[in-house]
Structure 1
């Protein structure tokens, strides 16, 4: 279970436990006389140019390591079973210290103030000695520079006003949940001697970039959709052309987790999961899949200054985001959840433009609050720059705008206002906490769930994005032991 504590203010989650409760357990049937088995000792398998499943299965339920044999002596060697459990790297959730402290913020502000005063004195000195006061353009430029250092733009003013409205809610709710976490032992007060360096060892992945792979796929020969099945199943050991990963849904409908190889890299597929690896220009296979979803979670690549500078990923414009075919994917009364940054421009766009365009009625906002393992905010709550929380905008598809072929079987609880989701964040960029358990009271039983712009897979969910397998790479997992 990822929900450790639930209060009226929201939930305290254990993201790492959610991943490891999937129980990625390898079950390999050894056949010594066969040369078809791909070794599992290495996380990489060379530069293969095909996507394939291995003759291995990861049990989602079995926890017993054993040697399985048949009574017949000549069959024993063929039916040995190796059990190898995969667990997500715990160090990727080893956030023991705030990213920025209150002291850092105060020093930053004082430094800005001193720098502003220093610049003002220098400008005054230069004007007096170089008689630049006669140059009106120069005086104007100096004044503008000084003015920009103390005047906030409209976006910053809107952000400050929004923060003022929700500050008390964030502080009080988080405090209550953190106290429960400290009592139960999920969180712990770390002394200076116990604290571990917050820096984690980088996880080195192979050279296969999924986003780049999607771009490469556009150069592949076109696939005739009439001749291609909409789903490729990973129930059996198969080998398929790479382009199939981009042109149709890949589905693991079994109760076991599978391994596939893509461009020589291994990825773990949870049981009962489906995915499509593509970008916004190639969403038709998802529509061809024919499913209507009760829950759609969206984590768009929002445009911001840091993304432009770092070039970590390609962002989408507001117009491009509006082109996502939510009305075609949503079931009646579908719950739509969109992750937003703290930039008020994005929040207002979702509520006032995006949701109305999709015929989605805005219900409320929730907040993801990021804390350290000792319960501190990762950024000071009143930091003038980054805040320790992000937003989610929740809405429902208006019934009259969609087909009524699939009506909800029961009435669900109304969505409560301004709930908090508090958790220790993953150090990997944009690895959002799971929403499966916090949503269960507000959606129909056995709801069909879809995540757009996903970077990982979940059992029972369909996932789509140009990096949809990113955090399923075996290098993000470890194998503590292998026994037979």
Structure 2
């Protein structure tokens, strides 16, 4: 379970445990070295067992059981099982990102907030008989952000404190004095040798496929490979109960069981629409434009007009729950609430926050930092149904109202924009066995369809560790 604790303010999540509870097992048959006439047995490994109380640095163990192989057309062969787990060091955040001069920064923040009353009105001074606007410390966007922070500060602080205290009491979180000192070593991240977004751009020049070829590609039990053109033009499904490996431009990616994806950019979403499938929950993490992205050129961003063109109305089932990740820029928050959702016929029902903490329960950034905040927002909405549809629905089917101002508290991944999973915190607000879709995804989940031009990014094998194989 990724939900470690659930209290009235929200949830304390274990993102790493959620990834590792996925059965990343590769099952392969191979001929034994011994004679076929000699009796053989195969070792089947149970799911990976993680200590949910101390997942930070927790050890992984196998529980093997031996059984006779079933008789099939492969003859007398052994089952070779390789298990993978996500690299735990990518969640090893024991100290805040900003540790020096925190007190000074908070003081400066307070002093700036004290100036707000002086700069809310336009101040004019007389220079050479002319009135000119005085240069002030904050622009309107900064003033709006400070006012928003003032309103939600108590909610973030009080709710997080309750969940963090529960985590410390249970042992899931460890105070700095209790946690043994470890020599911090730099984390070597995988080289981005396969730029997925650039490949999506190149794939537009590939020969187009006919309608038959555009149908969903299902990876069956014995499939070992797919063509690269298939990966760019069709929804790919791993229908088996085991993990599959696919190779793209020489790079290997792990596909969890019962998952599906479409690797494309916003101009090539038609395979998703051609499936004629609608979804009961749609999670969206748009590439918002900001100054940092412009400077670093880390990823391409979309304009508000481009985001509005995402065909959510065609993908959403009646009463679909739409969840959009939003940065702390008030311009983006207002856009989602006042323009984006109305254009999709989605009614805003709640606003939640993801609060990022260390493994010792501290905010990753000072709560009152004027630059970066330790929280991000999620705007939740429901697709508005037409009156005829409302009357035709079964009166016994009642939707659980979605509470406002909930918190999702977790230790973030060090990988940029690797958001925490929402499947378990949303399950009470969607129908059982509902269809789930994530847009602008960077990883896959069992039971979900994922789309984006970097949809396989965090499925790269370099982000996983192979445990000792058994046969």
Whether the TM-score (by the shorter chain) exceeds 0.5 is: yes
Aligned positions of 1:33-432 closer than 5 A: 64-65=63-64, 70=69, 79-101=77-99, 103-104=101-102, 106=104, 148=135, 151-191=137-177, 194-196=180-182, 200-205=186-191, 207-224=193-210, 226-235=211-220, 236-400=222-386, 410-432=397-419
2:428 aligned partner: 441
Q: TM-score, normalised by structure 2?
A: 0.84
Q: 1:60-115 CA distances to partner (integer Å, 9 max, x unpaired)? A: 7996546666599x987x5122222111000000001001137246269779x9xx
Q: How many residues align?
A: 428
Q: Offset of 1:29 from its aligned partner?
A: 1.4
Residue 256 of structure 1 aligns to a residue in which SS?
Answer: coil
Q: 1:225-252 CA distances to partner (integer Å, 9 max, x unpaired)? A: x231420011131543311112111001
Root-mean-square deviation (CA, aligned residues, Å) is 3.1
Q: Is the 8 A contact 1:68 1:80 kept in 2?
A: no
Q: Offset of 1:304 from its aligned partner?
A: 0.2
Residue 414 of structure 2 aligns to a residue in which SS?
Answer: coil
| Cα distance, 1:400–1:173 mapped onto 2, change above 3 Å | same
Q: TM-score, normalised by structure 1?
A: 0.82
Q: 1:280-309 CA distances to partner (integer Å, 9 max, x unpaired)? A: 000000001111000000000000000001
Residue 17 of structure 2 aligns to a residue in which SS?
Answer: helix
| Cα distance, 1:200–1:411 mapped onto 2, change above 3 Å | farther
Aligned-partner Cα distance in 2 for 1:58–1:194:
32
2:56 aligned partner: none
Q: Is the 8 A contact 1:230 1:285 kept in 2?
A: yes
1:51 aligned partner: none
Aligned-partner Cα distance in 2 for 1:358–1:172:
34
Structure 1: gaps (5+ residues)? 34-56, 114-134
Q: 1:162-215 CA distances to partner (integer Å, 9 max, x unpaired)? A: 111110000000000000000111100123983446664122236111111101
Identify the match of residue 468 of structure 1 among 450, 455, 464: 455
Moved more, 245-254 or 199-208: 199-208
Q: 1:345-374 CA distances to partner (integer Å, 9 max, x unpaired)? A: 000000000000111001110000000000
Q: Is the 8 A contact 1:91 1:200 kept in 2?
A: no
Residue 148 of structure 2 aligns to a residue in which SS?
Answer: helix
| Cα distance, 1:177–1:193 mapped onto 2, change above 3 Å | closer
Aligned-partner Cα distance in 2 for 1:415–1:110:
37
Residue 18 of structure 1 aligns to a residue in which SS?
Answer: helix
Aligned-partner Cα distance in 2 for 1:352–1:360:
10
Residue 84 of structure 2 aligns to a residue in which SS?
Answer: strand
Q: Is the 8 A contact 1:331 1:402 kept in 2?
A: no
Q: Is the 8 A contact 1:58 1:258 kept in 2?
A: no
| Cα distance, 1:237–1:292 mapped onto 2, change above 3 Å | same
| Cα distance, 1:334–1:59 mapped onto 2, change above 3 Å | farther
Residue 413 of structure 2 aligns to a residue in which SS?
Answer: coil
